[in-house]
Amino acid sequence: MGKRERIREITAPLLCWYAKHKRELPWREDKNPYHIWISEIMLQQTRVEAVKGYYARFLERLPSVADLAGVSEDELMKLWQGLGYYNRARNLKKAAEMIVQEYGGRFPDGYGELLRLPGIGEYTAGAVASIAFGERVPAVDGNVYRIYTRLFADGSDITQGKVQKSIREVMAEAVPQDCPGEFNQALMDLGAVICLPNGTPLCKECPVQEWCLAEKAGDMSLFPYKPQKKKRKIQDRTVFLMEYQGKYLIQQRPPKGLLAGLWEFPAQEGRLSAEQVKPLLEEWDADFEEIELLGSGKHIFSHVEWHMLGYLVHLRKLPRKLQEGMVLSSVGQIQEKYSIPSAFSVYLKEIFARSKEGATLQE
Ligand code: SF4
């Protein structure tokens, strides 16, 4: 049986399973394209359970495309804080501005038009167009690659563009005319709850088990095949929580590159000992009473790992001239106003724990 026939055969049992077992999700309560779009962007790299809270807060504050187009970058970053990949949020705003300017605020309803918007790739355009507008287009992401390669015991290197393209082509033909949105969502759910990425897939409960060649061969873990990644670069950093009268010095990161435009605690390359820290603080004109070692923190980005060592520096007085872009911020402002990325969460927890103000805000 060819691939196209096999996919055609699984369509009915898959849709039947979806009708009975589909997940109740807030963004499935209606077919509003704005809601679907926001949820899909949030779900990239973040678990469904974690996204629900962000999604509710985001829509409460920005209920329409026009609201998103008009929001300030600072407030947007605050709403996004913790989801990571902040360029996604910036692209949401850019796309919303384009929808307001070029489409008069009406959400574009065709796959091709959606693809023109910043931050919307083939998967997201396919998801929005098929679910909200019933357009017969696929939504192929990692879930579909996994199900597909297992179904056909296909050991091709899934990281290669041409392999992905050929899967998208087969899936595009497979999307049924009458219920494209349900078909795509059925695959999303199958990948999320049955054909699991890590650990053992729940093949006994799978509606397409009968057609699955990987399951017949008995080794589902071989698919999809991905060659080993290059090791991430390790960057050692020393992070300074410089406290003055209960407030902390923070600074804005450069507008380009990793964590662009977000706020951080001042830091220095390398893991510095307490003895090495003192001359550096003098160089920064930081008159201190005491330095406390806070311990290590680690954050993994896609290509880099930060291995951090933190010091809490109690300042006697502020440096005469603060470094460019540096501000003295209360714990409340750090929580409410400035977006400090989760890479620093170990040190954020530390200052929240030490502050009465932070403890109240955290509750
Ligand atoms: Fe995935 Fe198992 Fe279903 Fe095959 S039978 S698609 S491996 S869950």
CATH number at residue 242: 3.90.79.10
Give tens-digit pLDDT for 243-295.
999 999 999 999 888 998 899 999 999 999 988 999 999 988 999 999 999 98
pLDDT at 303 over 50: yes
Same-domain status, 95 and 203: yes
Average pLDDT of 182-201? Answer: 94
Domain that holds residue 137: 3-222
Confidence tier at 34 by pLDDT (50, 70, 90): very high
Question: From the CA of 2, how far away is ligand 1's center (Å)?
Answer: 18
User: Hey, which of 21, 149, 215, 223 would you mutate to test ligand 1's pocket, going by the most ligand atoms within 8 Å of its Cβ?
Assistant: 215
pLDDT at 148 over 90: yes
Give tens-digit pLDDT for 77-129.
999 998 988 999 999 999 999 999 999 999 999 999 999 999 999 999 999 99
CB of 7 sitting under 6 A from ligand 1:
no
Same-domain status, 211 and 238: no
Q: Is 304 helix (H, G, I), strand (E, B) or coil?
A: strand
Q: What is the pLDDT of residue 357?
A: 56
Same-domain status, 189 and 238: no
Q: What are phi and psi of 35, to 5 degrees?
A: -65, -45
Question: Which of 217, 81, 75 is CA-nearest to residue 152?
Answer: 217
Residue 227 lies in a domain: no
> Across all residues in the chain, what is the average pLDDT?
93
* 326 vs 203: CA distance, rounded Å: 55
* 134 vs 179: CA distance, rounded Å: 7
H helices of the chain, in order, are: 3-21, 33-43, 48-61, 65-70, 73-80, 86-103, 111-115, 122-133, 142-151, 161-174, 180-193, 213-217, 274-283, 331-336, 345-354, 356-362
Q: Of the residues 222, 249, 280, which one is the last residue of a structural domain?
A: 222
Q: What is the pLDDT of residue 266?
A: 94
Same-domain status, 268 and 317: yes
Same-domain status, 168 and 271: no
Question: Which of 24, 4, 359, 6 is CA-nearest to residue 193?
Answer: 24
* 234 vs 220: CA distance, rounded Å: 33
Same-domain status, 189 and 306: no
Q: Of the residues 167, 191, 222, which one is the last residue of a structural domain?
A: 222
pTM, full prediction: 0.77
DSSP 149-180: HHHTT--SBTTSHHHHHHHHHHHHHHS-SS-H
DSSP 17-79: HHHHH----GGGSS--HHHHHHHHHHHTTS-HHHHHHHHHHHHHH--SHHHHHHS-HHHHHHH
Question: From the CA of 213, how far away is ligand 1's center (Å)?
Answer: 9
User: Quick count: other Cβ atoms within 10 Å of Cβ 180?
Assistant: 21
pLDDT at 189 over 70: yes
In the chain, pLDDT over 70 holds for what percent of residues?
97
Question: From the CA of 83, how far away is ligand 1's center (Å)?
Answer: 30
Q: What is the pLDDT of residue 339?
A: 86
Same-domain status, 204 and 158: yes
Residue 187 lies in a domain: yes
* 169 vs 294: CA distance, rounded Å: 53
Q: Of the residues 222, 256, 288, which one is the last residue of a structural domain?
A: 222
Considering its fold, how many domains does the chain have in total? 2
Same-domain status, 262 and 121: no
> Between vectors from CA 119 to CA 118 and to CA 120, what angle results, nearest 5°?
95
pLDDT at 26 over 90: yes
Catalytic residues: 40
Confidence tier at 362 by pLDDT (50, 70, 90): very low
Among 217-231, 270-284, 345-359, whose mean pLDDT is lowest?
345-359
